[in-house]
A and B are shown apart, each in its own frame.
Chain A
């Protein structure tokens, strides 16, 4: 927030100390103090919360931001940063950091099955491989609840023992028992059977609940299958922290920790849960060589370029031709025409794509395009690989021609008249003017926009996902990818952020490739546009 504080203090008089020049507090200063107090309060609250959670990265980042904010707004020497800081703070966290972090993730095997640290993977594996201990008695069990936390009370040898996921079983002498049923425990509410049967979410929680028998994890834990009897479960795997091995206690197979973040036995079988490790450039190699991804990758990359180039070319040409036709003072009602022309541009793009999805429906009873313009023929616009591509370019043409119409009209109206006049005096006819004089002049003002539009369409997630979702699917690969997928939708699909199997590492590696492509094109473009400007 730009500093409003100094407006309370008049200009400094010949060498008088700043404190003397103080003439009371202006409103601006009070507002600034209140805002800064709020920022500090929020900042410190987040620092404290991350300390409690043990999230050191967030702690350091938030502390740095808070200190920087205080320095910027209370120092006399940082005038420009008072204006730049707010935007810069958001930019640092949500754009620069995430870009750098993308590189970091691309070097790891982060994803489904490789979500966390080795310790957490071991814990998860130990839990997954729990089995009921042979010969363990089934204890009568009652379900308890307090503040949203669940617990078990078991009756063992006439004694009531109570525990929860975090606290091992301990005897509760003050509990009242009716036969096998515990009816009251101090500090807990008893969950009766009717409540349990009526609440599916609660049932799942009860099935997942593990109450340790004692502080020693090897003693196993109490679990229940139906909510009335509890059995001791113990893990079939044994963890040896020194050797970093998990041993199956039944088959005596030893699973060793490997560099790729998995426990693998000598015969090659691996346990399902792994952990996150750095894999270097493996993800990049995988993108090009993996049998599932390599072939689709090249086809999708080619289509991405084709789509971006064709969509910009068609809509630019259409907009240009329209601008040339209607940039004519003799045409009446140009304002009305212009307003009607830009209607598709003023209609939100995601709605347009969804709308065309319905209009292009293959069934002529549903799809108005087939019904009205193709005499009710059943044309599978969105289910045929080539027609779907054509449909995407056509719909995007409808979406974006008004933009180019506006841009080209503006560019035509600002053409330097002296150059055109000079061309006429030199004997250039109308055609000659259009082919040789106008294009370079037009390109100066529109070239940066053409490049920007190309870069935008290269990552135009909305139109593809809303119109076809990448369909029709490739039939020669098991990856969930299709003929109209572009790179960004492929990345989205692989990343699994919206559900499904997640592979953050591979997806990040692919998005870095897109980063590079977009960066190279933009850099090249900026050099070319500068060259165009130098010509004139």
Chain B
């Protein structure tokens, strides 16, 4: 187990290093450059050169990369001149808020998607299945900005019960103090996720209900409820674990469209604005954070898998 963890962490490190190299290269090969973006159109060539020299941007890229990594190891993700704050600070302001939104919507999605998927599987090819399938496909096919707009129109214009804007609070506590404002962004974000998850749960549950072990369970004279809940559900939820692991980076990156639509100052908005303004330190910082989250998410999914499925043995080597 420990050995497995060490192996996996080693792998994770390799992935993260590769991601930083690739992100670094791409960002530095882009035309334009940080100096012009930072100093503005009025800056002279001398000023640009001086800025580049100060920042080390005139050195070969691999030297810059080494410097970057050195700072990274000290927890320094750089400084954004455009925001006039350090990258760590910018991210740490927005990350918790994004996580609140993502966690709430994921939770909502899981709580609704699992029962929906189970109902579909149990009543497969009958009307409840068809109805839920149609709705899922509709939700899945609707662009999220359109869905968000419809939500705003419906619930804050036609029937004004909810605010159209997400909470604007600076801290998580302030955000949570305005639960009404969180409803629309959370629900919008959850709808698509519910569609995806319930399809997943349905198909794995259908597969599992056709398994021989379910027939064995029925042969014991168990009630259908017990067959589904005690025997099938656990095995049917394994793929959802993988799905959740893959979803972890989304918790960090935030839902770009939804954050913009509801004007929620989270990670998605940060990234989007940084991209428009060529704010390299922010872009790089966010990329690194997300890549770490991706790797950790996959690792967590594997560990969770091992915890619930006795057949999975975690070993770095056999012992």
| Chain B binds chain A | no
Question: What residues make up the interface of B, taking CB atoms closer than 8 Å to A?
Answer: none
Question: What residues make up the interface of A, taking CB atoms closer than 8 Å to B?
Answer: none
